[in-house]
Amino acid sequence: MRPIISAMTSLREALVAAIRSLFRGKSLIQAILAFWISPTTLKDQDVAPRKDSRRTAADFLKDAESMFLGPVDGVGLREFSRKLKQQFLEGLRSNPACMLPSYNHQLPGGHERGQYLALDVGGSNLRVALVELRSRGAQSDKSAIVHMDTFKIDNDIRALQGVAFFDWMAERISQTVAKASGQNHTADRPLLMGLAWSFPIQQTSVRGGKLCGMGKGFLAADGLLGQDLGDIIELACKKRGLYVELSAIVNDSSAALLSEAYITASTRFGLILGTGVNIAVHLPVTTIGQPKYGDRPDTWYEKASHVIVNTELGMFGKDILPLTRWDRLLKASHPRPDFQPLEHLVSGFYLGEVCRLALVEAIESVGVFGGIVPPTLMVPYALDTETLSAIEADNSASREAGRKIFVSRHPSPVDPTSDDIALLRALSSYISRRSASIVAASLVALWELKAEAEAEFLRGLPAERSPFTEHTEAEMQISQTMVAFNGSVIEHYPGYQTNLKGYIDSLVASSATLSEGASIDLVAAKESSLLGAAVALASL
C-alpha cells in the first residue's frame, strides 16, 4: 500500500508542476506533454524553489552565477572542449546531417582580380551585387562592392511557390545587372555568378546542389524538391533574356572564411553568430568519412588535399552541455528539443528566452521587480537578445538608460528599480559569458582536431614529396590562426568578443595538442556573404 501512496504522491506533485508550468509561458499541450514524457524531470528540474522570505536577490544571483558559469570555469571548460572534440570526430566519420564537406578545396591565393556578380539569399533580403577583387597586395581596399541592390523578402515573397519565387529573383537580378554592367551576355558568353545560400542544400558540385525544404515560411521549394538549384536559377534568368552561369555556391560560414582568407592568408575558420550559430573549418580530406563525399569525380580528389567543412555546430552537444533548470524548461517546451542542443545555449535566438525564464523565477521567488511579472514576460521568447544587449551596454550607476528600454518593451504596474535592472543585467552577463565560453570551446576543439588531423595526414602521404606534402607542412606551420566572424551577437553584444577571446586564450594555454606560441585571433568579416561568394567564384 505504501508504494502505491508514494507513487500517487509523486504523480500529484508532478501534475502540480505541469500546471505551474502553464504560468511559466508554456501552452497546455506543452505542459501535458512534458509531464507525460518525464514527470520526474518536471518535478526536480522545471519547478523553481518555493518563495522563501529569507532568500534574497543576492542569493538568487549567487546561485545563478554558479549554475551558468561554474561548469565552464577552468578545468570544466577544458573537459567540455575535449568531449566536444570527440563528438566532432564522430560527426566527421558518419553523421549525414553535420560536418558536411563542401566542394571548396582551394583557398584563395590573394592574387585573384576582377569584377564578379554575387548573390546573397537570406531569410529577410535578396542582395545582388557587383563585387571587385583587387588582390591582397592592393594599396587601398583589397575588395569592394561596386554596386549593390537590396530587395526585401517579406511574407508575400516567402509565400511565392516554386518557380514563382525564382522568377521574382531573376527579375531583380536582371534589374541590377542592367544598372551595374554595360555588357551583353549571350548563351555563348554567360555572366558568371557566385551565390551565398542561407538554406539547406544537398550540394552535388561546386556550382549546384539539390534543393531542400527551406523552412522559415518559404514555399520556394514546393514542386522543386531535389532539382538542381543552379539549373533553376539559370532557367529563370534565361526567360528574361539574361544568360547567367551559377558557378559557385557557398553557405554563410564558408563565405566568411573565404572572404577573409582572401585578405589574411592564415584564416582557417568562419564563425557566424547571430540569430543562429555555425562554424566552417578547413580540414584535410582524409578527416571526413568517404561516404559523406557522395559521388565526386576523380579529378576533384586529384586536386584536393583539404576541404572547407560546414560543421552545423548547433547540432552538437547532446548529453554533454552544462544545462541549468532554465535550459531544461526551454528544452521541454521546444518543438524539436534535440535537433540543435548547442544552439540553445549560444545563439541570439535563445539567449533572451533563457534569461526570461530565469528572471520570471527571480520575480516569483525573491520578489524583485515588485514581485509582479510584467505581462509581456509571460509570453515565450518575449524578452529578446537585443534588449539584453542594450541593458548590458548601460554601465551607469543609475541604470536609467537600461531601465527606460526595459520599461518601454515590458511595462508593469510596478516600475523596476535600478537594483532590479542590475539583477537583470547580471543574469544577462552570466548567460552571454556562458555562450562565449561554449563558442570558445568549439573553436579550440576544432583547432586541436585540425592539428592532429594534419599530422596524421602527413604521416599517411607517400615518402616522395608532392604538392599535398608541401601544402600540409605549410598548414602545420601556421601559428597565428584567424577566425573570420560575422553576426549580430558577436559583432554588437557588449563585451562578447573580449569574453570569447579570453576563453580561447585560456583553453589554448592549457592545450596539450597545440604548439607553444600558437594563437587564435578574431577578425570581423564585413559583407562576408557577398564577398565570399565572389571569392569562391574567382578561386575556381
Cell numbers found for residue 533: 561568394
Mean pLDDT of the 419-443 span: 98
Highest mean pLDDT, choosing among 54-58, 300-304, 423-427:
423-427
3-state SS of 361-406 is: HHHHHHCHHHHCCCHHHHCCCCCCHHHHHHHHHCCCCCCHHHHHHH
- The 8 Å CB, 24+ separation contacts for 135-138 are 135/110, 135/111, 136/109, 136/110, 136/111, 136/262, 136/263, 136/265, 137/110, 137/111
81-128 pLDDT per residue, tens:
999 999 999 999 989 889 999 999 999 999 999 989 999 998 889 999
Take residue 233 and report the three cell numbers written for it.
536559377
Positive or negative torsion for Cα 279, 285, 287, 292: positive
Number of helices followed by number of strands (H, E) in the chain: 20, 13
Least confident of 19-23, 329-333, 334-338, 435-439: 19-23
Residue 417 to residue 392: CA distance in whole angstroms: 16
Q: What is the pLDDT of residue 186?
A: 65
Give the per-residue pLDDT at 330: 97
Percent above pLDDT 70 for the chain: 89
208 confidence band (pLDDT: 50, 70, 90): confident
Provide the pLDDT for residue 29. 47
Question: pLDDT tier at 183 (50, 70, 90 boundaries)?
Answer: low
* pLDDT tier, 185 (very low <50, low <70, confident <90, very high otherwise): low
What pLDDT sits at residue 386?
Answer: 96
Backbone CA torsion sign across 15, 21, 23, 27: negative
Three-state SS string over 153-169 comes to CCHHHHCCCCHHHHHHH
How sure is the predictor about 182, in pLDDT bands with cuts at 50, 70 and 90?
Answer: low
Q: Which residues pair with 277 in a beta bridge?
A: 273
Q: What is the mean pLDDT of residues 303-311?
A: 95
More confident residue, 1 or 324: 324
Report the Cα 12 to chain-centroid distance in Å.
41
Q: Three-class SS of residue 268? A: strand
- Overall pTM surpassing 0.85 (yes/no): yes
| Per-residue model confidence as pLDDT tens digits over 214-263 | 877 899 999 999 999 999 999 999 999 999 999 999 999 999 999 999 99
| Closest of 85, 104, 60 to residue 325, by C-alpha | 60
The answer to whether the Cα torsion of 354, 358, 363, 369 is positive or negative is negative
Among residues 452, 373, 507, the alpha carbon closest in space to that of 73 is found at 507
How far the first Cα of the chain sits from its last, in Å, is 76
Q: Residues 6 or more apart from 134 whose CB is under 8 A from it?
A: 113, 140, 141, 142, 143, 144
Residue 32 near residue 62, CB atoms below 8 Å = no
| pLDDT tens figures, 129-167 | 999 999 998 877 888 899 999 999 999 999 999 999 999
Per-residue pLDDT, 184? 62
**pLDDT confidence tier of residue 483, bands split at 50, 70 and 90:** very high
Which is it for the CA torsion 259, 264, 270, 271, positive or negative? Answer: negative
**516-535 pLDDT tens trace:** 889 999 999 999 999 999 99
In which band, very low, low, confident or very high, does the pLDDT at 441 lie, cut at 50, 70 and 90? very high
Q: What is the model's pLDDT at position 52? A: 66
- The mean pLDDT of the chain is 89
pLDDT tens, residue by residue, 4-48: 444 444 444 444 444 444 444 444 444 444 444 334 334 444 456
Dist CA 435 CA 276 (whole Å): 12
Q: H or E stretch including 500? A: helix 496-509
More confident residue, 213 or 463: 213
User: What are the helix (H) ranges across 134-242?
Assistant: 155-158, 163-180, 229-238
Note whether 344 and 324 are within 8 A (CB).
Answer: no
Give the closest residue to 178 by CA, choosing from 244, 112, 249. 244
Is 448's pLDDT higher than 50? Answer: yes
Does the CA dihedral 501-507-512-517 come out positive or negative?
positive
State the pLDDT at residue 124: 86
Residue 540 has pLDDT above 70, yes or no: yes
Spatial strand order in the sheet of 267-273: 100-101, 306-310, 277-284, 267-273, 480-486, 519-524
In degrees and rounded to multiples of 5, residue 133 shows phi and psi of -100, 130
Q: Report whether 356 contacts 427 (CB < 8 A).
A: no
Provide the grid cell at 70.
561554474
